[in-house]
Structure formats: structure tokens, C-alpha cells
Amino acid sequence: MTTVDLKITCRIEEVPVLGGFLLSSMQASLADFTGFSPDYNAAFMTTANADLATIEALINPKQLTAELKVITLRMYSNMTALRAKIDLLEGYINRATGLTIGKKDFGISAVRTKNNNGDVEGLLAALSFLLTNVGNNLAALTAKGFTAAQNTALTTLRNDLKADNMAQNNKINDRNNKVIANYTRINSFWDKLVDISDAGKRIYKSTAPNKVDDYTISKLKARIRQERNNTRFDGNVTSGGAAINGAKIVLKPLAGGRKRVTKSKANGTFEILSIEAGDYQVTIDAIGKTPITNTISIITGAPVSKDFDLV
């Protein structure tokens, strides 16, 4: 099987955005392009825009992404629910006597750490280790109040996380494989963008130098990245109207990517910069307060502000 390498000189997710910039500029000045060459006509634009829609659908498949968000939200919900279950289990472990291993070796700390870090694979391994120790010490724990229902709930939660983690990875792999399988099509679109870029620079180099940047790929990439750098999520965290210092703000992507974490300042304000566009789950947590969890949508270049009042 012949391997196809990508020709693009930008990040894969930037291709549709960069293509949109070039085609928009070209559409607005189509008469100049047609004057340069009859190849650039209305039919060319129609085909190019259709190609852009195809590439957008390949790189950002809406149906697959929507399914991925549902799975991810369910995982986040289960990981949040796990905290209270682990707190109760730790209480039973601390009260129990005659355990086969030391209380600190039971595995509670590892579960908390992996859960707080969002390391699902590590969490599953830590949970399995913990549940094994629970099973080996069930009589001692039951004597202190731990119930069969609680044990079943923990086991079910572990199994649900495992199934969703596998489903999530499958969706991500499907998305990646779809892109890889269409490298030839992406390269063809890229060739068209390079052609438009070359023509635009030649047309305006002497007649309208101010337009050259609109057709220079390196300049367009810088514009895309600058817009992303300027994208931010900010707001205030209060309790009864009073600012909370040190509240933890966690922003977790629903369709893959890295989570972002910050803390509120003494005046209650917070800010997270340079965020990738997409849907996120945001959790606001402070000592002694009930956490708040919401979902937000981030659009490149459009700052999002939201205030939270904890009780």
C-alpha cells in the first residue's frame, strides 16, 4: 500500500480556516482573478467552495463530534460522582481492622490523583487495584458500614468508565483514520490554495500591495494563530456577592484536547487565554462551597465572559 504524505504547511485543523480566508478574499476580487486568467471564473469558485465544505466535513465531522461530546460528558459526570464514593470508602477503610494490607496502600490516593488529573487510563488501573483490595477485605469493610450496593456502584462506575473510554478512543481513531484515508483529497485542496495564493500575490504585488497579505499563506497562518491567542474565557467567582480568592476553574474539552486550569485572584476574577475553539465543560470549585459545572462554547476570536456565584 502506497503511503501518502501531507503537503500542508500548517496544522491540519487550520486547513479549512485558511481555505476560507483565501476563498473569501478571492470571491470579493473575482473580476481581478478572471482578468488575470480565465481559469479563475464562477465555476472555479463553485468547485473550490464545494472542496472546502468537503475538507471541513473530513477534518471536523459534525456527527462524530456530537457523539464524542455525549460520551465525554458522561465520563466527566462519572468522574465527578466518583469523588464522593471514594471519600466514603476511605472512611470505612480508616475505621476497619484486620485488613490484609496497610490503609495507605489500599489505593485511594492513586484513584484521587488520576481522577483529578483527568487521566482516565490511569484511573481505570487505579480503580481496579482499589476494587481488588476492597474485595479481599470486604468482610472488614462491611463490618464498618460499607454495603454491597456501594461496592456494586463502584464496580459499575469503573465498568462504565472503561466502556466509555474505549468508545471515546474509537471515535477519536475513527476521526483520525478518516483524515488519513483522505490525505490525497486534502493535498489536492492544498494545491488549489497554493495556486490561489500564488495568483493573488502576482495580481496585487504592484497594483495593490496592501492586498498581498490576504493571499500570503504564512501571513494567514499568523492571523489564525493570533486570533486563537486572543481567544479567552474570563469572569468572576463570588459567594453571596463577595469575591472568592483561589477558586479552582477547570476547563475540559468535550471533543478531545487538553484541559486548562486556573485559579481566581483576590478580587475573584479569572482568565484563561489562547483557547482552542470548541465545546467545554467548566467546573468552578472552592473550599467549603458547592461546585458549579456548566458547558460553554468557545469561538476563535470571540471572548467568553461568565460569572459564577458559589454557595
- Do 143 and 74 reside in the same domain of the chain? yes
- Do 256 and 186 reside in the same domain of the chain? no
Specify if 112 maps to a domain.
no
Count of structural domains, the chain: 2
pTM: 0.81
- Do 202 and 164 reside in the same domain of the chain? yes
Within 8 A by CB and 6+ apart from 81, the residues are 157
pLDDT exceeds cutoff 80 at 132: yes
Domain boundary pick from 170, 201, 229: 229
Neighbours of 259 (CB within 10 A): 13
| Sequence-distant contacts of 293-301: CB under 8 A, at least 24 apart | 293/80, 295/73, 295/254, 296/233, 298/231, 298/233, 299/231, 300/17, 300/224, 300/227, 300/228, 300/231, 301/227, 301/228, 301/230, 301/231
Domain boundary pick from 229, 259, 292: 229
What per-residue confidence (pLDDT) applies to 91?
97
- Do 189 and 155 reside in the same domain of the chain? yes
Enclosing domain of residue 17: 1-81+139-229
pLDDT exceeds cutoff 70 at 283: yes
Least trusted range by pLDDT, from 19-28, 180-189, 216-225, 253-262: 253-262
Place of cell 497594483: 207
- Report pLDDT digits (tens) over 236-249: 999 998 999 999 99
What per-residue confidence (pLDDT) applies to 93?
97
- Do 77 and 65 reside in the same domain of the chain? yes
- Do 144 and 278 reside in the same domain of the chain? no
pLDDT exceeds cutoff 90 at 229: no
Domain boundary pick from 179, 202, 229: 229
What per-residue confidence (pLDDT) applies to 230?
83
What per-residue confidence (pLDDT) applies to 2?
60
- Report pLDDT digits (tens) over 7-54: 999 999 999 999 999 999 999 999 999 999 999 999 999 999 999 999
Q: Which residues make beta-bridge pairs with 282?
A: 251, 294
Specify if 255 maps to a domain.
yes
- Do 215 and 274 reside in the same domain of the chain? no
- Do 290 and 220 reside in the same domain of the chain? no
Say how far apart CA 134 and CA 74 lie, in whole Å: 25
CA angle 52, 56, 62 (to 5 degrees): 145
Say how far apart CA 12 and CA 251 lie, in whole Å: 23
- Do 260 and 162 reside in the same domain of the chain? no
